[in-house]
Chains A and B, each alone.
Chain A
Amino acid sequence: MIRIDHLHKSFRALHVLQGVSVVLPTGSVTAIIGPNGSGKTTLMKSIVGLVQPDRGTIAVDGVSTINNPESRATIGYMSQVAHYPENLTPRDLVNMVRGVRMSRVPDISDELIEDVQLHGHMDKPMRALSGGTRQKVGSVLALMFQPTTLLLDEPTAGLDPVVTERLKERIIKVRDAGSTVLITSHVLSEIQELADRIIYLHEGRVIFDGMVNELLERTGHDVLSRAVATIMMQSNGGVQ
């Protein structure tokens, strides 16, 4: 479970997160959506320690993640298409993460490499890999230690349809195993497919936090994209 209380973050004069308070339950997939600059990535990066909040608290399974690197032992994070060092290979990166994690949980990288069809690329330098293949590397690095908290920032961007489906299946599997999954995506059909819960952020504030069905009911639509468009127009007009 992830519990976030009154989280504030500013970059100079720009208030990116303004008192965000949410609880993400165990065994669920929560999608954070919102327009560009609404604070989605900053919120996710705050949870995993890449961004240090100005105020507020974040606890993952009861353990504070702020200035606490040890808390990341159970967190898997997949960023948007990553540009890893061009002279390292995916195998180097997998070995590096394996080395620093020294996890008690079994490493399932071989299974994941097979799953996302990365086996033919493991010894190629990163500079020789396409954006989609790099994304596959990112997914293996995020999932290989079966994290109890999984944070995915645009995970399917650049992936081919077959691997996209396999990654989605994997996300569902992780959720069913009792993990807390947080995902951002611009593909709303994908969110409708994967997410149990939705958090809608606007200018660093939580405008909606609830189940997907609640959002659909509240807006009177049966398709998520229309529901999101409605709530987006409402929030732009200052109506909650």
Chain B
Amino acid sequence: MKTTALLLKYVVRDVMRSRWLALYLIFFAAVTEGLLYFTGGEAKTVVGLMNVVLLLIPLAAAVFGTLHVHHNRDFVELMLTQPVSRSAIYFALYLGVSLPFLIAFVVGIGVPAAIHGVVFNPPILTLLAAGSALTMVFFAIAYLIGVVVQDKAAAMGVAFISWLSFAVLYDGLILALTVIFADYPLEKATIAMVVLNPIDLARIIVMLTFDYAALMGYTGAVFQEFFGAATGIIISSSSLIVWTLLPVFIGRRAFGRKDW
């Protein structure tokens, strides 16, 4: 634990000095400020931000996380040649790259929201929580891809396809299935399919907090109808935790066996 914390300090230090992180923070701050300023309403801001959060965070995490493994190969080798367990190194690397992005996201949205006096409103807080969860989930997936796929270009391809599948293709698949099997009761199947997509889960959490049925889409409406808002949020949140822990666990195993 102590060793992980020490290694984490240096991984975080490197990532915190990255210009990409600064751009990430500035982007969220500018979009939030722009939306709060021009839409004049918290609801419209959250809806606008939600679309940005659901698309951009998974993409940024998938790309940066995968690249981080490949760009820091020599640094990983340096750590592996020290008397330190591979678990300690893996957790330091994963947390070291994901936490600065999580903080940049929270600060980027939180500061303008605080200036406008809406930071503690439930939809904003829920959006921050959902975005933070997506950060941890997609960095975990990206790190797993980075460790398992040896070639950098191939790893980037897999990361991009993963993002595209979760962010775009998956919803299309659900929609197609609901149309094809319209004559059958699909509620349970839909819920199961939603749980298999972290982006859908994050969207449903924000929408259930909002209680704005028109924005929920088919899957959100099914979730609310089946579980009610509170249970729906608990199930979605638990599923996101599983979505974080599972790739971290698999990635840790792969890292433990990997030849460098």
Binding site for B on A (CB under 8 A): 11, 45, 48-52, 69-73, 75, 77, 79, 82-88, 92-93, 96-97, 99-101, 125, 141
Contact = CB atoms under 8 A, between A and B. Distances in A.
Contacts of A71: 83
A193 to B, nearest CB: 26
B52 interface: no
B78 A87 contact: no
Contact of A101 (B11, B71, B82): B82
A172 to B, nearest CB: 22
Given A85-B14, A96-B7, A100-B7, A49 B259 contact: no
Interface in B176-204: none
A49 B17 CA distance: 30
Interface residues of B, number: 29
B201 to A, nearest CB: 33
Interface of B: 3, 6-7, 10-11, 13-18, 71-75, 77-86, 257, 259-260
B82 A100 contact: yes
B260 A51 contact: yes
Given A52-B259, A96-B6, A72 B18 contact: no
B18 A87 contact: yes
Given A86-B14, A88-B10, 12 more contacts: A11-B259, A45-B259, A50-B81, A69-B86, A71-B83, A75-B81, A79-B78, A82-B77, A84-B74, A84-B75, A100-B6, A101-B83
B80 A79 contact: no
The 10 closest A-B pairs by CB, nearest first: A87-B17, A85-B14, A82-B74, A73-B83, A77-B81, A50-B260, A51-B259, A72-B83, A87-B14, A99-B6
Contacts of A87: 13-18
Contact of A49 (B13, B16, B80, B257): B80
Contacts of B18: 87
Tell me which of A69, A70, A79, A92 has the highest count of chain B C-beta atoms within 10 A of its own C-beta. Answer: A69
Nearest to A93: B78
29 contacts: A11-B259, A45-B259, A45-B260, A48-B81, A49-B81, A50-B80, A51-B259, A51-B260, A52-B257, A69-B82, A69-B86, A71-B83, A72-B82, A72-B84, A73-B83, A75-B81, A77-B81, A82-B77, A83-B71, A87-B14, A87-B17, A88-B10, A88-B14, A92-B13, A96-B6, A100-B79, A101-B82, A125-B17, A141-B78
